[in-house]
Structure 1
Amino acid sequence: MNPRHLRWIVPSATVVVAAVVAVVLVTQVGGSAACAAGGSASYYTAGRNGMCNLGAPADDAYAAIGRAEYAGGQACGTYLDVTGPNGTTRVQVVDLCPGCPAGKIDLSKGAFARIGALSAGIIPVSYGPVRDPQVGPLLVKLKGGTAHSALTAVIGNHGNPLSTVELQTPAGFVALRHGEDNSWTGPAGAVGAPVTLRISDVYGHQALVPGLALGQNDFQQTRTPLYGGPSPSPSPSPSPSAVESASGPPVTAAAGPTTSLAPPPKC
């Protein structure tokens, strides 16, 4: 039986106790998991890119979440601290689990094995979002931007939920539209290269990323982080893959003005 489709029917007393213990544990993990949810987890293997088009992290620590928590793609690229019977692990949201109700998540096999027994198939967990997780400089993938194709951008290494991604034009900044596949799409028409984007998250962090090239199939590794401290002058270069995005110490551009989108609610 595929572990992704396993479900409890009648929870045993042991399962109930484990779930309670998991909720207690997650509240003690550095306070990083706000509004922790109690539920269950199974494991799966993501496709090549996952619904978020970010790829699977090299450390095999990722998750797929249900539609309500996926929030039309806003959860893409964010992190969860997940506590199970054997401890806590941190995972990146890279995928949508269409059949998962609220409180049910699918973990990568490696992440599941760190907090529970693979033989169980499904385990009780509690989990919550991580604010300002430690990540490297921003990654940006750009496509289109020609007379025949609108510009689309996928942003990696932002850590927190993004509120806006804006394209700099001669007339000023133009907001891109976020899709469920985690792509940010601009207006139709040709875009002059190099491209400059202004990226903001729901907590008011903001970074200006100039010098981005068009027509590359992979992520461009910038030198600009979204938060964490002073940023060096950005100079994007091609990155062999998104899975190497967490290398190096995180440094950050100065926080910009708070956007109109409020942060996720606190407990």
Structure 2
Amino acid sequence: MHRRHLRWIVPAATAVVATVVAVVLATQVGGNAACAAGGSASYYTAGRNGMCNLGTPAEGAYAAIGRAEYAGGSACGTYLDVTGPNGTTRVQVVDLCPSCPAGKVDLGKGAFARIGALSAGIIPVTYATVRDPQVGTLQVKLKGGTARSSLSVVVNNHGNPLSTVELQTESGFTALRHGEDNTWTGPSGALSAPVTLRISDAYGHQALVPGLALGRNDFQQTQTPLYGGPSPSTVESSAPASPAPSPSVTTVAAAATNPPPRC
């Protein structure tokens, strides 16, 4: 699969000098930054969606990571705090960097410029996955769900790695399959709108999200966070009028045992 962006190419001599051996520390840090890694960062311009199909955050606040850390799409939508020579910046993982080894991260140009000099091309960095970042309420994009095409779902603003996305049916909840492109795919066959999903993350946070429209090409802004944040009843929805998410959305408390994230 071709990466959907133009990579910034560093002169060979600079690249050799700046090469850093990645060391994965895999440590828990105060319940916030979950995994720490040391290595290097370059910068690039992402395509419109990135491999994760999430789009690209403003001001270049995004990142692409190598296959090992990308973990088949499990890292999509998570956040990294990246520290370079000039400070720390927070970025969302939206893309795969096929050529990046563990410890190497490609940053949006704006993010790179906040922690290092663009003229350097590659800089030494450390970075850590952020646990429970403040991201607001869930956004969901749904396509298909017809007799001709299976349901496909992309979730944004979940912050932590997702463990399951489930579709509510007459017989209960059916787990969707997660692909490397960060799309959750449902069973074939026509569905009736509105759709209800149950979304869970790797730390046991779980949210029930009803009132979702089918056939939309954009993200629907729901009224519920996956964890923390304001009460769903106090959050205004910016989604188009038809159909709006139900104000009765609830968030289920996190499980007592929180498994470590993937690094």
Counterparts in 2 of 1:174 and 1:5: CA distance versus 1, 3 Å: farther
Counterparts in 2 of 1:46 and 1:144: CA distance versus 1, 3 Å: same
1:111-149 Cα offsets, whole Å, 9 max, x none, are 000000000000000111000001010000000000000
Distance in 2, Cα, partners of 1:217 & 1:11: 42
Distance in 2, Cα, partners of 1:235 & 1:152: 26
Q: What is the aligned length?
A: 242
* 2:157 aligned partner, one-letter code: N
2:253 to 226, 240, 255: 255
| Pair 1:3 & 2:8 matched | yes
Partner of 1:172: 172
Structure 1 gap segments, 5+ residues each: 240-251
Distance in 2, Cα, partners of 1:227 & 1:213: 23
Q: Following superposition of structure 1 onto structure 2, how do residues 191-206 of structure 1 map, counting pairs within 5 Å? A: 191-206=191-206
Counterparts in 2 of 1:187 and 1:4: CA distance versus 1, 3 Å: farther
Distance in 1, Cα, partners of 2:88 & 2:48: 26
- Higher strand fraction: Structure 1 or Structure 2? 2
Q: Following superposition of structure 1 onto structure 2, how do residues 183-198 of structure 1 map, counting pairs within 5 Å? A: 183-198=183-198
Distance in 2, Cα, partners of 1:30 & 1:88: 18
Distance in 2, Cα, partners of 1:87 & 1:4: 23
1:59-93 Cα offsets, whole Å, 9 max, x none, are 32000000000000000000000000111110000
Distance in 1, Cα, partners of 2:168 & 2:10: 45
Distance in 1, Cα, partners of 2:213 & 2:238: 9
* 2:62 aligned partner, one-letter code: Y
Distance in 2, Cα, partners of 1:105 & 1:167: 34
- Once the two structures are TM-superposed, the CA of residue 36 in structure 1 deviates from its matched residue by 1.1
* 1:262 aligned partner, one-letter code: P
SS of the residue corresponding to residue 189 of structure 1 reads: coil
Distance in 2, Cα, partners of 1:34 & 1:124: 20
- Once the two structures are TM-superposed, the CA of residue 9 in structure 1 deviates from its matched residue by 2.1
SS of the residue corresponding to residue 119 of structure 2 reads: helix
SS of the residue corresponding to residue 88 of structure 2 reads: strand
Counterparts in 2 of 1:122 and 1:31: CA distance versus 1, 3 Å: farther
| Pair 1:105 & 2:105 matched | yes
Counterparts in 2 of 1:76 and 1:235: CA distance versus 1, 3 Å: same
The answer on whether the counterparts of 1:4 and 1:42 sit within 8 Å (CA) in structure 2 is: no
Partner of 2:228: 228
Counterparts in 2 of 1:258 and 1:214: CA distance versus 1, 3 Å: farther
Distance in 2, Cα, partners of 1:165 & 1:125: 33
1:190-224 Cα offsets, whole Å, 9 max, x none, are 11110000000000000000000001110000011
Instruction: Tell me whether 162-171 or 31-40 shows the greater mean CA deviation.
Output: 31-40
Distance in 1, Cα, partners of 2:9 & 2:199: 35
SS of the residue corresponding to residue 35 of structure 1 reads: strand
Q: What TM-score comes out, normalization by structure 1 length?
A: 0.82
Partner of 1:158: 158
Distance in 2, Cα, partners of 1:102 & 1:53: 22
SS of the residue corresponding to residue 58 of structure 2 reads: coil
The answer on whether the counterparts of 2:37 and 2:127 sit within 8 Å (CA) in structure 1 is: yes
The answer on whether the counterparts of 2:150 and 2:187 sit within 8 Å (CA) in structure 1 is: yes
Ranges of 4+ aligned residues in structure 1 off by more than 6 Å:
none
